[in-house]
Every structure is written in structure tokens, then in C-alpha cells.
Copies of this chain bind each other. A is one copy, B any other.
Amino acid sequence: MKTLGHLINGNIDHSEGRTQDIFNPSTGEVGGQVRLASKSTVEEAIAAAEAAFPAWRNTPPIKRARVMFRFKQLLEEHADEIARLIGQEHGKICHDALGELQRGIENVEYACGAPELLKGEHSRNTGPGIDSWSEFQPLGVVAGITPFNFPAMVPLWMYPMAIACGNTFILKPSERDPTSTLFIAELLMEAGLPPGVMNVVNGDKEAVDTLLDDPRIQAVSFVGSTPIAEYIYGRAAANGKRCQALGGAKNHAIVMPDADMEYVANSLNGAAFGSSGERCMALSVAVAVGDDAADKLIAQMKQQMEGLKVGAYSNKDNDFGPLITGAHRDKVVGYIDSAEQQGAKVVVDGRNPQVAGGENGFFVGGTLIDGVTSDMTCYQEEIFGPVLLVMRAESMDAAMKLINDHEYGNGTCIYTRDGEAARYFSDHIQVGMVGINVPLPVPVAYHSFGGWKRSLFGDLSAYGPDAVRFYTRRKTITQRWPSAGLREGAQFAFPA
């Protein structure tokens, strides 16, 4: 059985130490082990990255970008293999894994534009004979810490741009499903990246804390749950680092009475249950405006959910797969139980799915709960499972108030045909990513990804234009070339 090591300075590292099992959640079986990096192993990676920095930062941006062009090509050539690796350890179905990968590749494509994106601003004659310009220089060694639910995509949000900007990188991926992540990093090396520019350390809290505390790490990008995001953000800041930490979500859709309910149910079906709801952009609450809209929505959902197929990643006819661990499966089931106990009605119950051959897998079927209110546990917390809550609001304003009062502000959506409703919603909703008839409003790679409120800590969003700013440091140069014969009086006043 394989044991996954680290990628340090261009080589796979198998330092002795702690390991952890990697499961196949479709079967519940252990498929291998992953090494958990000790502090000294992480420090070795940091040292390699630090040593690689000066030459890489001096490499012209266009040459750095060309590594990304080759990387894109390699990712496309190995797409099926990557999807299989994702499926084995995460459980998501092939077509979903390919979708994830494609979204990751879009970030590589964006990083190919680094020479354009790194342009500074030049001003002639800020004063007489004085010019000023800005440059966006790389930071040095930067780190990324990524979650289990997108082992390919979320890392690709981070390091292609960080590296194209001239930084060197340490990635600490999820220890639940690290194999595809490492495989992809090796493709990047194959694309021509010098050793030490990209490093992967597998590990747990020891690795994370080392990255947070080591003074050589200049910046940390994190995606995960809100409690950990807060921890990361506070600790990185206490160490003087820049940090962006993306946390949890509770994404609501408002369903207006004028919406086409068949379209709504169709699109919610995918947005709520795809990838078992283990997405920070999963649409987990539908707020119908008016009982009539709610009843129609429930009816449509029931009908459409009859066709839902849950099962192993390898069968592409399945709609979604298992949850990541047995413990998480139990937690999701617990949320459904609590909803029932607190007075909601489980309209479609996924608690005991029949999955042929998956008796030991971590499956929960698509679940629809009606009559949810804002005081219920299932509403207040992020479930991260294939569970869609339905709520009823008297008006669009009441529906919006629900969303604006929730602690999270990642994604949201409105279903309507009405231009005024859409405009009012998008202007006033306190959420970072807003869909109009789009239930998963994940920005494309040339925009940036970020929630509001307790869904993101930091100034700058992930990927896209914001990533260029996050992974670089502004330098402003003010230049004057005195005439050879010039003699001037000293200036004591602040130059105006």
C-alpha cells in the first residue's frame, strides 16, 4: 500500500515520522497512508523555497508565464487520471471531478497573463522633472493551506498565480485526499519549474503552525471552515504576516413567485446536492417568497429528486458520491435529526440511502426539509452535506433580511424574471458572490472569489485580479535626475 510523501526542492521526500490513513469514502476502505510533516520537514521545505526565490524572482515574468502555458497543457493531457485520483479519495463523481479540474485550469490560464497583470503605473512629471512609478514585486516564500473538498481546484486558485508573480510556494493540502494534489504539483515540475519554487508538505496542525510562525513565510492563503480561518488569520497577523482566510458559508436562494419553478428546481438540484453538498458555494437554503411559491417549489423538488442517484465516484451515471468520512456522515445525519426534532418536516429523507456495493461507504442521500426557521440548528450552522432547507418569507425584504442577518456571506442567488428585483437584490444583499438566476455564482477565473462577513477574513479575495495584489508587494519609485549644474536650496518644508 502506497505512502504519500512530500515534494520538497523538486524531489519526493519520505522523511520518517507520523502517518495517517487515506480512505476511499465510497467503500470505507483504507487506500494508503500519507506522511504528516514534522516541524523540521516543513522548515526544510521553507529553506528550499527561500533558496529558490532570488533566481525565480529575477526570471522575467513572460518566462514564468510560459511554465504555466506548459502546465495547462499537461493538466489537460492528464485530466482523466487526475479525476480518478480525486474520485478515489474524495468520492466525487468523474464528471464533477473533471469540472473541478477545469475550473482549476482556468486559473492556470489566467496566470499565463502574468506579464500583463503585473504592470505597474507610471507617471511622468509628478513634479517638475520628477517621475514616479509603481511595481508589484513578489513577496518571497508564501504558503497555501487547502481543504479536502476541492483537492485540485483550490490549490490551483493559489500557487499558479503566486508563482507566476515570482514567489516560491509551500502548499499544505488536506490530508484526507492529498494524492491528486501532489500529482498535479509534480506535473508543474515537469512543465519546467526550477526545483524549490513549488513545494508540497502533507501534514496536520504541526505543519500548519510551523507555516504560520516561521518568519520566512511572507503570506498565507487559507480555505476551510470559519473557526480555523479565524485561527489562521489571527495567528498569521500576530506574526505580522499578510493573510487571506476563507471560511464557511450558508448560501441562500430567494425564489420569487415569478420564477419558473421547473428551472429553479432543476438548478437547485445540482447546486444543493452536487458533490454531496460539500462545497462552500453549495446552495443549502431556498427561501420562497409566499406560500404559493414554496408549495410549487417543494412539489417540483420532490419530483426531480426522485431521479437522484447517489453512489461510487467511478460510475458516471451517479449524480453525487459519499461524504468525506464516516464521522462527517454522522454529523450530517445529526443535523437532519435535529431539524426533525425542532419541528421541521423532512420531505425527502436521505438518511438511509441504498447504495449497491457501498454498504460501508459514507453515503447520505439527497434530503429536502421544509418548514425550517431561523432558530433551528440546521439553519444556523453549515451542514456541508446533501441537504436543502426550505424556508418561507412573506416578502422579498423579509427574505433578504434573513440572509443579511446570517453570520456568513459567501454566496447567494435570486430566482426571478424581474429586472428591478434582481437589481435591488444585488445592490443590497450583504454577500460577496451574488447570482441572478445562477445558483452557484462562483466567479470565473478572471474575476475574484470572496465572501463577506465571517466567510472571508482579509482585504483581498482569492484568485483573479486580487490574487495578483495579494501575492505581490507594491514598490513606488520616485526619480529625479538633477541637471549637472544644478544648485538648490535645501528644502525644510514637506515637499508639496
Contact = CB atoms under 8 A, between A and B. Distances in A.
How many A residues touch the partner, as a band? Answer: 35 or more
A237 B229 CA distance: 11
A267 B493 CA distance: 11
B490 A304 contact: yes
A231 to B, nearest CB: 10
Given A420-B481, A436-B479, A487 B266 contact: yes
A168 interface: no
A461 B437 contact: no
A435 B496 contact: no
A115 B119 contact: no
Nearest to A54: B428
B99 A496 contact: yes
B110 A480 contact: no
Contacts of A268: 490
Nearest to A95: B493
A457 B153 CA distance: 29
B123 A446 contact: yes
A135 interface: yes
Interface in A89-117: 93, 95-96, 98-100, 102-103, 106, 109-110, 112-113, 115-117
A210 interface: no
A409 to B, nearest CB: 10
Contacts of A457: 237, 240, 242
B267 A491 contact: yes
Contacts of A61: 123, 125
B240 A433 contact: no
Given A263-B487, A419-B481, A496-B99, A474 B112 contact: no
Interface string A442-453: 111011111010
A496 B103 contact: yes
A96 to B, nearest CB: 4
Contacts of A96: 492-494
Contacts of A267: 488, 490-491
Contacts of A117: 116
Contact of A133 (B122, B125, B419): B122
Across the A-B interface, the 5 shortest Cβ-Cβ residue pairs:
A237-B237, A102-B496, A420-B481, A99-B494, A269-B490
Given A116-B117, A129-B423, A263-B482, 7 more contacts: A61-B123, A112-B112, A120-B122, A267-B490, A437-B481, A441-B476, A461-B474
